[in-house]
Amino acid sequence: MVALEHEVLPTWDQFMVPVLRVLSDRKVLSRRELYDLVARETRLTDEQRAEVLDSGERRFENRISWAITYIVKANAVMRPSRGQHMITESGRVLLEGHPNGLREADLRLIDGYDDGRKKHAHEAPSPSVSEALDPYELVEQGIARINSEVANNLLDRLHAQDPAFFEQAVVDLVVAMGYGGSDARATRTQLSNDGGIDGIIDQDVLGLSRVYLQAKRYSLDSSVQRPDIQSFVGALQGQQANQGVFITTGRFSSGAREYARSVPTRVVLIDGPRLAELMIRYRVGVQVKRTLQIVDIDEDFFE
């Protein structure tokens, strides 16, 4: 067994040779069998096997699946029946010529290989950085970059607004997250004489269970300190409350976090990056610009 030495999970193209190597020792294997045998061949750790995509699919299985797809297009592997795979003579030749690794650029040199892209005679194959990721991961990476830019913009915009706007945005977010029950009973307290409480969320119709909010519109590079959390805990005790949420556009100091963990009162701390992440997830202050639909073969249709 020859293992790939990786500190991180191999990319999809780095799985192509292990797939061919596993198939070269056997006649026909199912996709599920390939997942397990290739994982053993490359000596994936339990942590690597446990990595998942946002869709919930195991990342290593997704990458092996794309490796299979591309070497099938290169006629290195054939499917004698549904869900079954076997190496071809072309695949054995390909493995012999590239025992240490394959890239999609190598596949493009094979007669009959069709990657779905228009080719021009003057173009020479050149490896791309994007080839390290499979198409699903490229989509996820693109969405993550967009969300990161939107998150930064959200925090800038929130910090530019007046305190009343920010407090209402925080209340809207907590309601969007499902707190407040079906009646969505939530109120923002008056800016003056609020007793250290900026918002109140009733989790039942009678208001017997409440969540209290504190919202601090700090500069993005400023930290909420321990005394601020102590004051909030004091305000909660004044309301005879045992739970609250402290939200800021800035950060929390280590002392603030340590104090929040040490008191009996349940205090949840949400800093700027987490706030922006939640606003994007629950569509507060953002709107869906475009919806992508990703299709795949319906195997049941072909049974």
Question: Does a structural domain hold residue 298?
Answer: no
Give the pLDDT score at 184.
Answer: 53
Arithmetic mean of pLDDT over the chain: 83
Mean pLDDT of 212-219: 91
Indicate the helix (H) or strand (E) that contains 49: helix 46-50
- Residue 244 C-alpha from the chain's centroid: 28
- DSSP type of residue 158: H
Does some domain include residue 138? no
Q: Are residues 159 and 108 in the same domain?
A: no
Residues 258, 200, single domain; the answer is yes
pLDDT attached to residue 192:
43
pTM for the whole structure: 0.61
Q: Are both 185 and 96 inside the same structural domain?
A: no
pLDDT value at 300 more than 80? no
- Whether the Cβ atoms of residue 86 and residue 29 lie closer than 8 Å to each other: yes
Number of domains observed in the structure of the chain: 2
**The last residue of a domain, from among 60, 94, 113:** 113
Residue 100 lies in a domain: yes
Domain that holds residue 107: 1-113
Query: Mind listing the pLDDT tens digit for each residue in 95-138?
Result: 999 988 888 888 888 877 765 544 433 333 334 434 456 777 77
Same domain, 107 and 159: no
Asked whether residue 101 falls in the same domain as residue 159, the answer is: no
Most confident range (mean pLDDT) of 132-146, 155-169, 187-201 is: 155-169
CATH assignment at residue 18: 1.10.10.10
Write down the pLDDT at residue 5.
44
> Residue 286: inside a domain, yes or no?
no
User: Does the pLDDT of residue 23 top 80, yes or no?
Assistant: yes
Q: CATH code at 211?
A: 3.40.1350.10
Considering only CA atoms, which of 69, 55, 53, 60 is closest in space to residue 37?
60
Q: Has residue 126 been placed in a domain?
A: no
What confidence score (pLDDT) does residue 154 get? 92
Alpha helices in 80-191 (DSSP H): 89-97, 104-107, 135-160, 163-176
